Amino acid sequence: MKVTVTQFPDAADEMEAAFEALAAHVAAEGSDLVLLPEMPFHPWLCYEPQPDAAAWQASADAHAKWLPRLGGLGAPLVLGSRAVTQDGGRYNDGFIWQGGEASFAHRKYYLPDEAGFWEASWYGRNAEPRFEAAQAGDVKVGFMICSDLWFGEHARGYARQRVHLLVNPRATEKRSVDKWIAGGRVMGVMAGAYCLSSNRSGQGRGFEWGGAGWVSDPDGEVLAVTSAEQPFVTVEIDSARAEAAKATYPRDVRE
């Protein structure tokens, strides 16, 4: 299976060109799965502690309009997260697009609330954490949306569910890139899975988005990282290797 990770622009006026460039990359590489960043189809919202309901709805509407276009990327599977308004609540939901439609996969649970990332103030979460594997074509996927990545008990839980991929759509700063890649390597090892992450890029309000989408293998080796010069990278992975990793250290240690 060929998987593609990205760094995708935060600026609305750059998204169309980036989408077309990503589609060209997918066609050239023959990608089977594309991972998009956290809530990619609208500029970042959570800069201020006071939420703006109209701005949130604009993001939810933008994602609802973009999702039917994902077939234009040319990959059978497209994963990411989206802003959703549901039953009067606002949520950040992971999705899997396959067979022409997007289905719910995971609701982000661990929400920061600090300068530039007032997410717990802007949107909600489930009453209890739910980290359940989802099927994406022939592979099992475990979602860890952005901050979810730092809660390793769920990586271990995904190992028990025998996932092949951990996917981490994120929105993180340039100054923290090394920390995020280190965390992704560790969580992939804990899960015995490939770890894929895609991120925003460009200028944020008061900081720079980090880009640096990555793929690491079940033993934590980084296989590829995106950059400004190479905003999309594609790697061939072997799901059988993730299966075999579950029987090796440290996944085989009794809990």
Of the pLDDT bands very low, low, confident and very high (cuts 50, 70, 90), residue 255 is: confident
* Phi and psi based region of residue 17 (left: phi greater than 0; alpha: psi -120 to 50; beta: remaining): alpha
> CB of 212 within 8 A of CB of 180?
yes
Domains detected in the chain: 2-245 (3.60.110.10)
pLDDT score, position 254? 82
Token pair belonging to 239 = 């799901």
pLDDT score, position 166? 98
- Encode pLDDT of 193-211 as tens digits: 999 999 999 999 999 999 9
Give residue for tokens 């770890």: 195
- Which has the closest alpha carbon to 168: 188, 190, 144, 147? 144
Cα separation, 150 vs 187, whole angstroms: 8
> CB of 46 within 8 A of CB of 116?
yes
- Encode pLDDT of 19-67 as tens digits: 999 999 999 999 999 999 999 999 999 999 999 999 999 999 999 999 9
Percent pLDDT > 90 in the chain is 99
Per the omega criterion (within 30 degrees of 0), is the bond before 43 cis?
no
Of the pLDDT bands very low, low, confident and very high (cuts 50, 70, 90), residue 214 is: very high
- Encode pLDDT of 78-137 as tens digits: 999 999 999 999 999 999 999 999 999 999 999 999 999 999 999 999 999 999 999 999
